Amino acid sequence: MRVYLHEITEQGTELKFGQDDTWAPAAVARADEQSPQPRKGTRPLEGRIFLRKVDEVVVLDGNLRTEVELLCSRCATPFALACSPNFQTLLCRDPAMAGIAHVDKDKQGRSTGKVVGRLHGHARHAHDFEGQDQKNADLDITYLAEDWIELGDVVTEQVQLLVPFQPLCEEGCKGICANCGADLNKGRCACSKLQKNSPFSALKNLRVPASHS
């Protein structure tokens, strides 16, 4: 969903969205990991984004409650991870203000050929921003290459930021058997028993006498 910059005012605009808004479920789904088992039912999804303009900067505040589909890093079982980010980010069209490297211009708007800026065009998002001093919050300004904000991209990014590096279906997940691939959370596999009954199991007690020279 696009919000054009000229539509954003100093008074601000509040947008609420949910499962019935086509763009919102699609944005969350981009953060899902591929699973062989299709999702059953509808994922919970409720969010709010507030946009306001302060001079040339757009201040975006939002919160979201949903779930993202992941695969357990130990047993590869699909599971849903609850996500409830609160976030704020700053955006603008001015590359100098955003710290983006760009070609400088003179007072007449002509290129000087001099490249200025710090190649600093990423945003640090402040999750759980409530109760903090917004003036002192460590937020960079995100550069907007177009004259609109794609809210779907904002939602996708906020969900992705909450996905752990090694997602687990539960803290005590036992994983899978390295030999047969059985899910050990469902019980012990038969590998240990098969090894015990193997005709070669007697060889483990075999001792080779040391040679005497």
Q: What is the pLDDT of residues 75-103, one digit of tens each?
A: 989 999 999 999 999 999 887 777 665 44
Query: Mean pLDDT over residues 56-80, rounded?
Result: 93
Q: What is the pLDDT of residues 133-172, one digit of tens each?
A: 444 355 678 888 899 999 999 999 999 999 999 999 999 9
Query: Mean pLDDT over residues 1-11, rounded?
Result: 94
With a threshold of 0.85, does the pTM exceed it? no
Choose among 85, 84, 161: nearest CA to 123: 161
- Of the pLDDT bands very low, low, confident and very high (cuts 50, 70, 90), residue 104 is low
- CB-based contacts of 88, cutoff 8 Å, min separation 6: 59, 60, 61, 62, 125, 126, 129, 134, 137, 139
Amino acid identity, residue 144? L
Burial code of 46-80, b = ≥16 C-beta within 10 A, e = fewer? ebebebbbeeebbbbbbbbebbbbbbbebbebbbe
- In the predicted structure, residue 198 carries a pLDDT above the cut 70: no
> Cα separation of 180 and 182, whole Å?
6
Neighbours of 123 (CB within 10 A): 19
Contact 167, 71 (CB under 8 A): yes
Strands 86-92 and 45-54: what pairing?
Answer: unpaired
Choose among 145, 128, 29: nearest CA to 86: 128
- Of the pLDDT bands very low, low, confident and very high (cuts 50, 70, 90), residue 45 is very high
Q: What is the pLDDT of residues 18-28, one digit of tens each?
A: 999 999 999 99
Contact 70, 79 (CB under 8 A): yes
pLDDT at position 191: 80
